[in-house]
Structures are given as structure tokens and as C-alpha cells.
Amino acid sequence: MAELWARSACQLASALRAKEISSSELLAEFLARIELLDPKLNAVVTLDVERARKAAVEADDAIVRGQDLGPLHGLPITVKDALETSGMRSTGGAEELSHHVPTVDAPAVARVRHAGAVIFGKTNVPKWSGDSQTRNEIFGITRNPWDPFLSPGGSSGGPAVSVACGFTAFELGTDIGGSIRMPAHFTGICGHKPSFGIVPSRGYLDHVGGGLTEADINVVGPLARSVADLEVVLEVLVQSDLWSPGGWHLELPPVRSEMRVGAWLDDDVCPVDEEVLSILERAVKGLENIGAKIDPHSRPVDFGQSMRLFLALISSAVSPGLDDEIFELAKGMESIPEEPGEDPLLKMSRGVSMRHRDWIAFDEERELLRRQWASWFEDHDVLLCPVGPVAAQPLSDEDLFNRKMIVNGVERSANDLIFWPGLTGVAYLPATVVPVGRNAAGLPVGIQVVAPYLGDLTALFVARRLEEIFGGYEPPPIALEA
């Protein structure tokens, strides 16, 4: 059996129910690890120890009385600082909210709390969750536990590090352009981006005054050390909404277990590093070896068309939190023809400056794209594709639009990191990330398992098969220093 901190949330929950450990002891274990290891990583930025200790004692007392508070009973957890958490500083990584203490939980936070989780801390994010690195002016930069000179990704970099290092039982993250999936890939853990709309994303801090509405494309989902944990937490998160109590009930479709698997592992629009590609090909072969029917030439949609649509719609979705310089750049952009190879900052400006009727036209185009995906999924159960073109990248002082990365010896924009996640995110599809190997430098590589809309359970089912074949989560080097 793994050390206490490295066990899955499901294993910890079982140990709590069996009275092998207490919630108070588990909380003390996590806090001790944070104190010892987090100075090297800067993942956990706010702690609420006294309230957490009280909640842990109450959870322990309930177990003694034979009272079960829910599937997450007594599990101490941290939560991404982009999600409002009652009575705890919640900043969204922005100086403007550096002293913001909400009086209510975001709905997703409320659901895990109601299911018995003990929330004791918040984890680091880039400002307004708007970067593929995790750095802000309040708390500084978060480092990757596989190599502290590398990024854990963004925007759920702090959450991913907290999970990878055994600082928490599981985490809640958000994902609009890969913000759950890329950090899971970079740190060697599991993550699930739910189908858009099945988990309320209110309480998400992406601008001053934010949290009251739901941003397009954005979702709230779990990060964990096992796929089974993702399944349990997702079940907690997927419930009837606060604003329509009793008005509807969501029941996700059952698992498609035929394992008709499409593989889209590389594309000229966003080429994949040869080492990463080799690991992904091995993952596909692993499924084939257990009976999966593989379609190795899957192209459900046009990548370039999907990226044009994604960049326009995500630009609009994140515009409330953008800096004034982008709005200045955006003035009049809607009337200027787009040029091939245009700078990503200009592409974003077009989305920021679009008229509402332009957004409606893009939304209609998205609906056609979603129908293409739905048609493809009539003959396939899942699509396997990269999370990103590379493994974890060096930390950089450059902003997102000027940052570079090397793919197969060619310099490319680091903005390309959002392309593979954006391919499926813009179509509202669910995707599970599970680690399937490590490159020559020893860095983890994950794969995306994409399912049809509302097919979350199928994505998780196939991800669990991959986990069984390739072993899943391994503790990173810094996690083993305690």
C-alpha cells in the first residue's frame, strides 16, 4: 500500500470509514507536507487551518457515531483560487481581489463540502486564470515537482501540484482552454474536463465582480491521483442546479464499452513532439492489445477551422478580465481582414472587438461543428489525442503571446499549448487526461480521452483501462523528499 499521502481519494475515504485513520490525522499529514515541501513549489497560497481542524474533528465524531456525511466524508482538500470559497480568501490571482473573502461557496465548492470534504486551503493560479503558466503579482510563480525549473502548466497549476505532491486528497480546477488538462499532463496526474454545462461554473473569478454568470466554454472539474477519484468527484458535482431545484434531473448516459477508438495523434496545424507522439502511439497500441477497435486515421473535424472558431470564442469569453492594452488594440479590428499567420494577440483582439451578431454567427458555426462531432461519434466511442504538443516546459518571464517552445527542433508560439485542448473544448465535449508514460528526460506524458457530449462516463471508462495498462500516477521526485 502506498504511503498515506500518495493514496487515492477513494483509498483514503475507505480508510476513514474503517477508522484506520482519522480526518484530523490526514489533515495534519497534508499540512506537514505543505510546510516541508511547498516552499520549493509555491502551490498552496492560503490556509484556513483552524476552521479545517474543527471540521475534521466533526467528521471524525460523525464516524464514531456511525453517521456518514457523504462520499467525500472527512477528506481534506485544497481548492483552486479561482473558485469562491466561503470565509476563505479567494483572489482569482488578481491584485484587485487580494483581500476578497466570499460569504458563499461557488456551487461546485458547496457540493464537495456538502459531500463531506474538509476544505483547508487555496492553490495558486495566474491572474484571472489566463495563462499556461501559473504566476501572479500576489503570490508569485508555481513550480513543477518533476523539475522546479519547469512549469506545472496553467491555469490549474497550483491545484495540479497540490495533487501530485500529496498535499490534498483531490482538487477542484477549472478549464476553458486546457486549464485542467494541461497541468494534469505536465505533472503526471489525472484530470477530467466535464461536458460543458453539467457542472455549474458560477463563482469562477475571471474579473472584478465576476462569479455571478457562467463563462462560455469554461467548466469546473476534478484533478486527482486516480481515475476512480475523478468518477467519484464528478458524481458529486453533477447535480440539479441551485437555480432550478426540482426542475430537472441530469442522468449521464451509460458507458459505451465497445471500445471503438479513434486516434488523432498529430496534425500540421499543431505538430506533436516526436517523443510525446511515440508515447501516445504506445498508449493506442495498449488499448488495441486488450481488444479495442482502433481507427488510426481519425479526423472528425477540420483542425484549422476549429482553431479559428475556438480563438474567436475564447477571446470573447475571457474578455471581461483582459488588460486595457488589448481593448485598445481591438479598436477597429473587426473591419480589418485577417492575415495568414497573424499574431495571436491580434487574433484575440478580433474576438474581443466582435459585435454581438458576429458572436451569434460564430455560435451558429460552433453548432454545425458540434453536429460534425456527433456524427463521427455515431461510429466511435472515444477519440484519443494529445493534451499538448510537448511535455512540461521551462518557466519563462515572457508573456503568453511572446513565449516560445521548441517542437521537433522548430520554434513555435507557446500559445499553441491551448490548441489540442481547444479542439474539443470549443465543441463542449468531455475529456479525461491520464498519464501513459514518461519521456527520455523522465517527464510525464498524458493523453486526452475525448467522448461525445454527455459521454463523460465513457471517457472515464477508457481512461481507467489506460491507467490499468500503464500504471497511472507516480509521485514526482520532490514529493518523495519528505
- Rg, C-alpha atoms of the chain: 21
Q: Among this protein's residues, is 257 annotated catalytic?
A: no
Is the CB of residue 140 less than 8 Å from the CB of residue 106?
no
Phi-psi category of residue 87: left, alpha or beta, with phi > 0 → left and psi -120 to 50 → alpha: left
Give Cα 364 to chain centroid, integer Å.
Answer: 26
- Residue 293 phi, psi (nearest 5): -95, 115
Is the CB of residue 76 less than 8 Å from the CB of residue 24?
no
Q: Which of 8, 23, 24, 80 is flagged as catalytic? A: 80
Distances 465 to 81, 283, 446 between C-alpha atoms, Å: 32, 10, 14
Contacts of 222 (CB under 8 A, 6+ apart): 170, 171, 172, 173, 191, 192, 229, 230, 233, 234, 237
Q: Which of 24, 155, 156, 315 is flagged as catalytic? A: 155
Q: Among this protein's residues, is 179 annotated catalytic?
A: yes
Distance of alpha carbon 224 from alpha carbon 164, whole angstroms: 8
Tell me which residue of 231, 234, 178 sits closest to 426, measured CA to CA. Answer: 178
Q: Among this protein's residues, is 80 annotated catalytic?
A: yes
Residue 330's DSSP bridge partners are none
Q: Which of 90, 179, 316, 353 is flagged as catalytic? A: 179
The catalytic residue positions are: 80, 155, 179
